[in-house]
Amino acid sequence: MSKLAPGRIRVMTWNIHGALGRNPRFDLDRVVALARRHAPDIIALQEIDSRRAREAGAGNPFDVLQQALGGHGIGAKTVTTADGDYGQALISRWPLVNTEIHDLSWPEREPRRAICTDVLTPSGPLRVVATHLGLTFRERHSQAIALLKALGSLRMPTVALGDFNDWFWAGSVRRRLAHVLPACSRHRTFPSAWPLFQLDRVFLWPPQALLGSHTDSEARSISDHLPVFADIDSAVIAAAQQGLRG
């Protein structure tokens, strides 16, 4: 596992495509191994599919991933059938408080959720919003408005991350979010074999807290998306908390 320099909080977002490789075959161990190499503190994962796990005779991936990667977490299951569940999760090495799951679903489209929580980092609370938005422009437009309402007026350092399915600029989700979360990662993540689109992103306020971001091309054999990692300056988070208390 890689080690972070002191004073950094690393966040990660990754659409794991049901833990199906390009073979395709279900292999959750490869997901865990790649994530651990980068030592993220807070992880947003999309397209977790326990139905695939049942077919492979494996444990529930919502539970397996949380236990392997953080210990604290919340799942947002958008599809539940007799065969299992499908959705996303937010996992953290630190406790979560004030957690809410917002329904962002658009009529007659795949259900969508946003997980909103406060992560109790050693530098103070960090507001985290994890989501997986829809495929059409109209539903993403509606979902962006809902996300902004969920964010409200920022009262603490805040990060939003996930698969935003957003590649146009005019009227885009990222253009709306940039007004309140001006720092943003910019990596091509989809399709993972030949990345063209910046679908997976990390947004942050205050902007000076973003130290850098990167991806990992080795993930192309595990999912159709590449992960995004972003490093946050914990000193800026602590200073922002002090300012709020002052």
Q: Mean pLDDT across the stretch 10-25?
A: 84
- At the top level of CATH, which class does the domain 8-245 belong to? alpha beta
What pLDDT, in 10s, does the model give residues 99-148? 999 999 988 899 999 999 999 999 999 999 999 999 998 899 999 999 99
pTM: 0.93
Please state, rounded to an integer, the average pLDDT across all residues of the chain.
90
Q: If we measure between CA atoms, which residue out of 158, 154, 161, 153 comes closest to residue 133?
A: 161
DSSP state of 55: H
The answer for residues whose C-beta is within 8 angstroms of residue 8's C-beta and 6 or more apart is 211, 231, 232, 233, 234
With cut-offs at 50, 70 and 90, classify the pLDDT of residue 154.
Answer: confident
Report pLDDT for 60. 85
C-alpha span between 104 and 140 (Å, rounded):
9
CB-based contact 219:4 (threshold 8 Å): no
The answer for residues whose C-beta is within 8 angstroms of residue 224's C-beta and 6 or more apart is 15, 17, 22, 190, 191, 192, 193
Domain boundaries, the chain: 8-245
For the ranges 123-132, 184-193, 237-246, the lowest mean pLDDT is seen at 237-246
Phi-psi region of 189 (alpha: psi -120 to 50; beta: other; left: phi over 0): alpha
Helices 28-38 and 61-69 cross at an angle (nearest 10°) of 20
Report pLDDT for 171. 62
CB-based contact 70:43 (threshold 8 Å): yes
C-alpha span between 206 and 146 (Å, rounded):
21
